[in-house]
Each structure stands twice: as structure tokens, then as C-alpha cells.
């Protein structure tokens, strides 16, 4: 592709031309194109040239422009706001530029004299009130046109954009089946990079929590795109009932209910709000999401507050930490006198340590990389260690709760000799991917491992009429369908991406 060695860095501006007098000197095909641009901007256009192009004659006959069929005179510039030198005579065009500069008028020459002018016209397309322009600063007009045509096709897809969720969760897959699909390590960014290459995916975020993996996005209504998204998310091996695809209002409803915590392991928990916000912030940081996703997620987070308000009286609003403590108190005989270890120093790990201290326990607290700062009141009852110290920690404790973000097992069969085999040991694995190798559960009669699915089954046996909870939430979302319609309309109008 040929480029112009005289390319310049330009300042993009949009001129307000309505009712402003503009002059096009020249009356051929190039001049006709400039005339059309000015008319689209509602300028008052005059054309001077001895032999007019057919389009210019037609516009003059319709009185859309004033056409003077003669040669240019310097006095023709009087009163003009903007001028195009668009003849096939380079000398004349250069003379027009010189005259305009003397009068401090904006002038553009359409030939090789363009570098002496004041502006260039980019490749543009219009769609309703939206105008998109592409300029190479004179470097390559052909490249500008190619990019412009590509963007025009993309805009048409944006105008038919709608919401989509492709995901799976603890409701569809057991923890063993779900674990390989989590976007741990580099998989999150790799998946995002692949999605960025899919034509018709406008914006998206990836939500990966301990119980769900979801692509939440704004995509065109192309039917074939779903199969590609399933393949990128590695869901193509799953049966229909093992994943879900929700589009349009159903996607809006789903994200609102998820954000309200109703689909969490512990229905009504609040951690999901922070997780949704963090997923959106990361997507914006990576360039995956912008105004479209922000408008959608902000609306659903607002709606989720109303859902919590309505359904809250039916729920205990237990965080996963509370659920874990409830389980230990109910299912671990003599829990009050047992020594506890917490692995992981994130939000859940810290929350558990706080709860155990409130119950009067002393804790072993193990971290991987980031050593937590202990409040002064905690220091006498907390022993800090690293994961490398586990062989020294395990013989001391009878209850171990795992919360670490780790791509591999932290506790495995190799740790079996370090447990006190004379006592019953209970491990609760709240992490995803799991921190505890499943084989440990069957290794000795005194060793028991409970994962998130086991905790969920225990919890749902104990409480909750979730049918009524979901009925209330569905009713509330339906009452706010106008929010969804407003979002989709903003995609078409372009308001969401300004």
C-alpha cells in the first residue's frame, strides 16, 4: 500500500457548518464530492467552474447550490467561511490557497498542494446522527477508506446488539466436573484475547467465582456466534443441560439475580457484588469492556439492591464464611475446643479468622505470598505461617479451612503423614479450584473433606424455600423491563459508548 511521505499529524475537529457560506472552486467529480459533504452539513454552497459535472448541474437545477459557470476571480472569496480548491489546475489551486491565506480563510486543496492548506477531509460515513471519520493525515487515503468501510459494517452490527450470558455453575455441574472450566492463571487473559478477535462481540467481561464461570457480553444478533463462544469457553463438550445461554432480557434477568446473590452457594451472600464489580473493572482495564457493559452492569447492580430488599426477609443473608462456621458448629462435635487453621488471606480467609476469633478460638493462619498485617488485638491469638510451614502446622490442628486462590492442590496425599491420626480431622475446602486433593477424603477413617458442593447440600437441607424467593425476584425484574429496553435502545442510538 503506497503512503505519502508528506503525511502530517492532524487535529480532528467537527465543524458546525449550518448556514455558513462555503465556496467550491472547480466543478468536476472531485468538486461534486466536496459539495455533497458540505450539503450534508447544511452549509450554503456556491460552486465556480466553467464546465460542471452532471451532479453539480442537477444540484444547481434543484436550487440546492448556487452554480456560477465561469472562471474563478479573487473577489469570489469575499464572504466565504471555508473554501475548497478543487480544480484540475495545480497552479490555480495554489493561487486559491495563497488568496485564502491572505484573507485568513480556511482552505483545502484536493491535489498535491494539500500540504499548504488548512485542513483535509477524512473518509467518513454517517448513520443517523452518528458521524465516523477516519484520517491517515494524508499518509494513505486508500487505507482510510478501508478502515471506514470496516467500521461502517461494525456499526450496523452494534445497532442490533443485545445482551448475552454463556456460562455454567454449581447448579449445572458438580465441583469435580466444573473445576476444569475455571479461568485460572493465564487462561483468563487467553480467553479474553480470543474473544477480542470474534467479529460481533462488542464488549464483554468474564466472571469467575468459586461456583460459576460466565461470559457476560454485548454481541450482535448473529445466530452462529453462540457456537463460537461456547467453543472459546470450552463448553462444546458439555450436554445442553450442563451449561446455559441466555440472551436479551433473559440475560439481563440472570445477571440481576446473580448480583443479588440468589444463585450463590449461600443464597443472599454479598461477596458476589464485589466479584461482579472486580470482573467489570478488569475487563475495562484490559480493553474488553467500555460504556455498553458499564451501563448494563450498573443497571443490574442497582436492580439487585431492590431484589435483596424484597427477598431478604426470606433469607438468612449468610456469607460463605457464616455458612462455614454454621456447618462446623453443627457437624463438628466439640468444635468450641478445637484448634483451627485457615489457609489463605483473601476476603474469605480474613473473614473466617475474624469469626473464629469472635468465637474464642486461637488460629493458625497460613499465607502464600502476601503476609497480612495483624491488628494489635489479634496478635496474641494468631500464629502466622507460610504454606511452606504446613508440615509443622498440620499436627497441631483438628479443623482446617482452605480459601486460597491457587491453581494447584495445597494439601495433598503427601501431607498425610503430618496429620495427627489419633484425632478426627475435618477439612472444609471453600476454594475454587480446590485446595485439597480429593484423595485425602478417603485416605484414613479419621480424615474428612467437605467441599463447596457438600456445604451447599447441607445448607439447603437446613433452610430455605427458594421457589418463593425466585418468584419474587422474577416479578421484580419483570417490573423493571424498561431498564433493559433503555439499555438496548442506547446501543442503537450510540449513547452508551460516548
Q: Nearest 5°: CA angle at 168, between 167 and 169?
A: 130
Q: Averaged over 201-222, what is the pLDDT? A: 93
16 is a domain residue: no
Strands 212-219 and 162-169: antiparallel
Question: Does this model's pTM top 0.85?
Answer: no
The pLDDT of residue 122: 84
445 and 384 co-located in one domain: yes
The pLDDT of residue 223: 61
CATH of the domain at 206: 3.30.460.30
Structure-block grid coordinates of residue 188: 483468563
What residues contact 370, with CB distance under 8 A and at least 6 apart?
A: 345
Residue where a domain terminates, one of 121, 152, 168:
121
Q: Averaged over 117-142, what is the pLDDT? A: 77
65 and 102 co-located in one domain: yes
268 and 334 co-located in one domain: no
On the question of pLDDT at 135 being above 90, the answer is no
The pLDDT of residue 185: 85
Residues 234 and 469: beta-carbon distance below 8 Å = no
Calculate the CA 263 to chain-centre distance.
Answer: 21
On the question of pLDDT at 129 being above 90, the answer is no
139 is a domain residue: no
On the question of pLDDT at 497 being above 60, the answer is no
309 and 397 co-located in one domain: no
The pLDDT of residue 161: 81
- Phi-psi bin for 154: left (phi > 0), alpha (psi -120 to 50), beta? alpha
Residue where a domain terminates, one of 121, 147, 168:
121
C-alpha span between 139 and 160 (Å, rounded): 34
281 and 184 co-located in one domain: yes
Q: Give the pLDDT band (50/70/90) at residue 136.
A: confident
Q: Averaged over 206-232, what is the pLDDT? A: 91
Residues 274 and 347: beta-carbon distance below 8 Å = yes
The pLDDT of residue 464: 56
**H helices present in 374-440, as ranges:** 390-393
Domain residue limits at 404: 320-462
What rounded mean pLDDT belongs to the chain? 89
- DSSP 8-state secondary structure symbol assigned to residue 436: B
341 and 430 co-located in one domain: yes
Residue bearing cell 475454587: 432
Name which of 97-106, 263-272, 347-356, 487-496 the model is least confident about. 487-496
433 and 341 co-located in one domain: yes
The strands making up 399-402's β-sheet, listed across from edge to edge, are: 382-386, 363-367, 340-343, 399-402, 425-429, 447-450
Structure-block grid coordinates of residue 266: 449461600
The pLDDT of residue 148: 66
25 and 108 co-located in one domain: yes
CATH of the domain at 360: 3.40.50.720
Per-residue pLDDT tens for 276-331? 999 999 999 999 999 999 999 999 999 999 999 998 877 766 788 998 999 999 99
Per-residue pLDDT tens for 424-479? 999 999 998 899 998 898 788 889 999 988 888 887 665 556 788 888 999 999 99
227 is a domain residue: yes
C-alpha span between 491 and 396 (Å, rounded): 59
348 and 406 co-located in one domain: yes
245 and 344 co-located in one domain: no
207 is a domain residue: yes
| Selection from 84, 35, 80 nearest residue 57 by Cα | 35
The pLDDT of residue 315: 77
Q: Give the pLDDT band (50/70/90) at residue 181.
A: very high
331 and 422 co-located in one domain: yes
Q: Give the pLDDT band (50/70/90) at residue 133.
A: confident
Amino acid at each position: 500500500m503506497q503512503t505519502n511521505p508528506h503525511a502530517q499529524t492532524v487535529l480532528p475537529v467537527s465543524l458546525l457548518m449550518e448556514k455558513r457560506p462555503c465556496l467550491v472552486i472547480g466543478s468536476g467529480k472531485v468538486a461534486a464530492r466536496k459539495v455533497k459533504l458540505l450539503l450534508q452539513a447544511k452549509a450554503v454552497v456556491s460552486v465556480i467552474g466553467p464546465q460542471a459535472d452532471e451532479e453539480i448541474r442537477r444540484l444547481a437545477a434543484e436550487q440546492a447550490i448556487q452554480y456560477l459557470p465561469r472562471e474563478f476571480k479573487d473577489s469570489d472569496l469575499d464572504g466565504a467561511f471555508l473554501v475548497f480548491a478543487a480544480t484540475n489546475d495545480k497552479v490555480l489551486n495554489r493561487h486559491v490557497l495563497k488568496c485564502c491565506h491572505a484573507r485568513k480563510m480556511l482552505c483545502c486543496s484536493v491535489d498535491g498542494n494539500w500540504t499548504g492548506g488548512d485542513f483535509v477531509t477524512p473518509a467518513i460515513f454517517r448513520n443517523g446522527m452518528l458521524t465516523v471519520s477516519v484520517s491517515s493525515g494524508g499518509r494513505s487515503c486508500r487505507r482510510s477508506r478501508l478502515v471506514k468501510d470496516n467500521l461502517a459494517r461494525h456499526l450496523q452490527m452494534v445497532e442490533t446488539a443485545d445482551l448475552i450470558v454463556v456460562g455454567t455453575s454449581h447448579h449445572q455441574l458438580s465441583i469435580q466436573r466444573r473445576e476444569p472450566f475455571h479461568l485460572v492463571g493465564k487462561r483468563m487473559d487467553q480467553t479474553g484475547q480470543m474473544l477480542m478477535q470474534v467479529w460481533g462481540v462488542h464488549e464483554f467481561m468474564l466472571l469467575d467465582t468459586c461456583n460459576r464461570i460466565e461470559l457476560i457480553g454485548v454481541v450482535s444478533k448473529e445466530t452462529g456466534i453462540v457456537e463460537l463462544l461456547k467453543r472459546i469457553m470450552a463448553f462444546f463438550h458439555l450436554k445442553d443441560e450442563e451449561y446455559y445461554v441466555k440472551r436479551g432480557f433473559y440475560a439481563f434477568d440472570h445477571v440481576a439475580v446473580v448480583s443479588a446473590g440468589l444463585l450463590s452457594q449461600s443464597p443472599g451472600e454479598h461477596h458476589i457484588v464485589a466479584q461482579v464489580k472486580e470482573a467489570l473493572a478488569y475487563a475495562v482495564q484490559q480493553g474488553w469492556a467500555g460504556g455498553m457493559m458499564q451501563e448494563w452492569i450498573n443497571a443490574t447492580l442497582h436492580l439487585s439492591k431492590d431484589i435483596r430488599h424484597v427477598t431478604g426477609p426470606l433469607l438468612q443473608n449468610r456469607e460463605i464464611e457464616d455458612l462455614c462456621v454454621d456447618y462446623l458448629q453443627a457437624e463438628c462435635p466439640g468444635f468450641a475446643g478445637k484448634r483451627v487453621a485457615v489457609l489463605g488471606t483473601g476476603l474469605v480467609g480474613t473473614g473466617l479468622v475474624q469469626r473464629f476469633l469472635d468465637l474464642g478460638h486461637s488460629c493458625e493462619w497460613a499465607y502464600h505470598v502476601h503476609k497480612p498485617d495483624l491488628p494489635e488485638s489479634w496478635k496474641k491469638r494468631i500464629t502466622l505461617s507460610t504454606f511452606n510451614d504446613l508440615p509443622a502446622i498440620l499436627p497441631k490442628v483438628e479443623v482446617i479451612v482452605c480459601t486460597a486462590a491457587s491453581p494447584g492442590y495445597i494439601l495433598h496425599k503427601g501431607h498425610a503423614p503430618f496429620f495427627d491420626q489419633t484425632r478426627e480431622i475435618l477439612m472444609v475446602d471453600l476454594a475454587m479450584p480446590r485446595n485439597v486433593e480429593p484423595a485425602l477424603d478417603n485416605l484414613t477413617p479419621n480424615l474428612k473433606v467437605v467441599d463447596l458442593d457438600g456445604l451447599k447440600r447441607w445448607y439447603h437441607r437446613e433452610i430455605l424455600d427458594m421457589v418463593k424467593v425466585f418468584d419474587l425476584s422474577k416479578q421484580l425484574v419483570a417490573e423493571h423491563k424498561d431498564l433493559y429496553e433503555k439499555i438496548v435502545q442506547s446501543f442503537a442510538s450510540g449513547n452508551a459508548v460516548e
